[in-house]
Amino acid sequence: ETGVTQSPTHLIKTRGQQVTLRCSSQSGHNTVSWYQQALGQGPQFIFQYYREEENGRGNFPPRFSGLQFPNYSSELNVNALELDDSALYLCASSLVGASSTDTQYFGPGTRLTVL
Amino acid sequence: QQQVKQSPQSLIVQKGGISIINCAYENTAFDYFPWYQQFPGKGPALLIAIRPDVSEKKEGRFTISFNKSAKQFSLHIMDSQPGDSATYFCAASDTGTASKLTFGTGTRLQVTL
């Protein structure tokens, strides 16, 4: 186990609704990255948060937004849900800084289904 | 634009055999190359990783071979076991850009008895 936790484990929403996913990073880590993994595909980078600021973003529209809190936990918010947003959402924590190893440790994911 | 190409898409290997998965990348700024193992319903778990300053790294039954000039790297699983049956992803990142991981499309490995 990586020590990265995510909630909820599963979620069903309807098109047009909004959703918030949560992630607690591994102890000692200061950075959280979010990825979207569609069925049968590799994870796609959404964005990363470092010191409560967005620190890099992938090719996702602005309706995907996030937050990082002082305890380094994070939220992913998706507005105006679309059917194609159905996927496994993964959170990965890492340590960025003088002791950085670049290793990202993934949580178990949240399975989002949009009907 | 797919920056990391992975092959094969699926692989069947007999128990005790060698599993080989290959990846190729385009972005010469990539300087960190991890491999992840993912079981159904679980998040990816880091197996082994390499940087471009070495051509090979071995950890137990898992070996990464890296060819910087060809922009290719591969994962070798020696003495493959049924418990190794999972999906394997190669990835790459440029550690100068927030360590965003770019993943390959995955290889579904099945190890038969």
Q: In this predicted model, what pLDDT tens digit does every residue of A43-99 receive, in sequence order?
A: 999 999 988 899 889 999 999 999 999 988 999 999 999 999 999 999 999 887 765
Whether residue B34 is preceded by a cis peptide bond, meaning omega within 30 degrees of 0, is no
pLDDT of residue A29: 86
Residue by residue, DSSP assigns B16-44 as: TS-EEEEEEE--TT--BEEEEEE-TTS--
Domain assignment present for residue B104? The answer is no
A31, A41, A102: residue with CB nearest B105: A41
pLDDT of residue A26: 86
A35 contact B CB<8A: yes
- CA dist A70 and B33 (Å) reads 30
Domains in chain B: how many in total? 1
What's the CATH number where B19 sits? 2.60.40.10
pLDDT of residue B95: 74
Subunit contact A104:B46, Cβ cutoff 8 A: yes
The DSSP call for residue B101 is: -
Domain assignment present for residue B42? The answer is yes
Domain assignment present for residue B110? The answer is no
B44 contact A CB<8A: yes
pLDDT of residue A6: 97
The domain in which residue B30 lies consists of 10-96
Q: What are phi and psi of A77, to 5 degrees?
A: -115, 135
B41, B99, B106: residue with CB nearest A42: B106
pLDDT of residue A94: 87
Domain assignment present for residue B105? The answer is no
Domain assignment present for residue B68? The answer is yes
- CA dist B19 and B37 (Å) reads 13
Q: What are phi and psi of B33, to 5 degrees?
A: -130, 95
Along the 113 residues of chain B, how does pLDDT read in single tens digits? 558 999 999 999 999 999 999 999 999 989 899 999 999 989 999 999 999 889 999 999 999 999 999 999 999 999 999 999 999 999 999 876 557 899 999 999 999 99
Question: B29 or A9: whose pLDDT is higher?
Answer: A9
Domain assignment present for residue B78? The answer is yes
pLDDT classification of A30: cutoffs 50, 70, 90: confident
Q: Which of residues 46-75 of B touch A (CB under 8 A)?
A: 46, 49
Domain assignment present for residue B80? The answer is yes
pLDDT classification of A100: cutoffs 50, 70, 90: low
